[in-house]
């Protein structure tokens, strides 16, 4: 299976990652990727960038070293309503929008009902493209309901390679938990997306553990966004058309 895109990477701007945008894009090139998304954490992550940062991402070239660069964000879901930590007018201008639950960012839900409500409300936010690491056992979800909502709303769920890494103590059973999500996605024919969640350039495009999981579940390659330029271009066009119809109130 050949992967040509990484939709989830961080740079020094996130406050706890260690490479620059150029280093990430160069690493993407070396891995043979055609697309890489720069997706810093939203401002509620300790040390995360100020909202101005996201507004100014327009200065980043859309292509570097022959790799298409998507200017994005990884938003923090704040509550069961699916509220996120950047205003709609800022999110609207991003090329790709990720959202997920993170510790120390204000989210206080803990039960399956609360977490499922938070995630599903984020899924129904038309500005959000991808729900990241839904595999976190610290935030258990109703997997069937989340996959169904994602399918109905043309939102992607992510297989997050970093979740499975041994040095990620916060997400101990993510591999097994994610396996259940991938199995359900296969059953409901939901398209999934891979993200390295690289916090260092050497990890950009590293999907080693995700690939193991995909092969174990026998998940169909045609339901993975990262494997086809045609599917990616179709998705980007679809999202932009959807956004054209949205009017963002400006106060
Ligand atoms: Zn995250
Ligand atoms: Zn991340």
Q: How far is the CA of 171 from the centre of ligand 1 (A)?
A: 11
- Judge contact between 152 and 127, C-beta under 8 A: no
Dihedral sign for Cα 104, 127, 201, 170, please. Answer: positive
- Judge contact between 81 and 113, C-beta under 8 A: no
CA 81, CA 36: separation in Å to the nearest integer?
30
In a domain, 250, yes or no: no
Domain range for residue 124? 5-244
pLDDT for position 169: 64
Q: How far is the CA of 225 from the centre of ligand 1 (A)?
A: 19
Least distant ligand from the CA of 197: 2
Q: How far is the CA of 189 from the centre of ligand 2 (A)?
A: 25
Q: How far is the CA of 251 from the centre of ligand 2 (A)?
A: 30
In a domain, 203, yes or no: yes
In a domain, 138, yes or no: yes
Q: How far is the CA of 220 from the centre of ligand 1 (A)?
A: 25
In a domain, 165, yes or no: yes
- Judge contact between 100 and 34, C-beta under 8 A: no
Ranges of residues in the chain whose predicted pLDDT is under 50: none
In a domain, 249, yes or no: no
Q: Rounded to the nearest 10 degrees, what angle do helices 143-153 and 174-188 cross at?
A: 50
Q: How far is the CA of 8 from the centre of ligand 2 (A)?
A: 6
pLDDT tens figures, 52-106: 999 999 999 999 999 999 999 999 999 999 999 999 999 999 999 999 999 999 9
Q: How far is the CA of 101 from the centre of ligand 1 (A)?
A: 7
Least distant ligand from the CA of 16: 2
pLDDT for position 249: 74
Least distant ligand from the CA of 40: 2
In a domain, 251, yes or no: no
Q: Reduced to 3 states, what is the DSSP secondary structure of residue 79?
A: coil
Q: How far is the CA of 74 from the centre of ligand 1 (A)?
A: 7
In a domain, 149, yes or no: yes
pLDDT for position 248: 83
CATH assignment at residue 190: 3.20.20.140
pLDDT for position 182: 98
Q: How far is the CA of 148 from the centre of ligand 2 (A)?
A: 24
Q: How far is the CA of 131 from the centre of ligand 2 (A)?
A: 11
Instruction: Report how many domains make up the chain.
Output: 1
In a domain, 30, yes or no: yes
pLDDT for position 106: 93
């Amino acid at each position: 299976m050949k992967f040509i895109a990484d939709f989830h990477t961080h740079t020094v701007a996130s406050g706890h990652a260690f490479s620059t945008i150029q280093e990430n894009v160069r690493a993407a090139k070396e891995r043979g990727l055609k697309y890489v998304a720069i997706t810093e954490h939203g401002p509620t992550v300790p040390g995360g960038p100020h909202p101005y940062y996201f507004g100014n991402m327009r200065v980043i070239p859309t292509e570097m070293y022959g790799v298409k660069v998507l200017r994005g964000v990884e938003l923090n879901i704040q509550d069961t309503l699916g509220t996120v930590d950047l205003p709609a007018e800022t999110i609207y201008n991003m090329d790709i929008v990720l959202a997920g639950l993170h510790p120390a960012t204000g989210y206080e839900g803990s039960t399956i009902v609360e977490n499922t409500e938070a995630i599903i409300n984020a899924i129904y936010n038309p500005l959000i493209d991808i729900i990241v690491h839904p595999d976190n056992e610290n935030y258990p979800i109703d997997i069937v309901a989340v996959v169904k909502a994602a399918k109905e709303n043309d939102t992607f769920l992510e297989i997050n390679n970093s979740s499975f890494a041994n040095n990620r103590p916060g997400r101990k059973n993510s591999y097994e938990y994610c396996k259940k999500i991938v199995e359900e996605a296969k059953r409901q024919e939901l398209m999934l997306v891979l993200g390295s969640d690289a916090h260092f350039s050497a990890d950009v495009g590293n999907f080693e553990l995700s690939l193991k999981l995909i092969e174990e579940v026998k998940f169909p390659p045609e339901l993975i966004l990262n494997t086809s330029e045609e599917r990616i271009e179709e998705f980007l066009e679809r999202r932009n058309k959807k956004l054209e119809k949205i009017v963002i109130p400006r106060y």
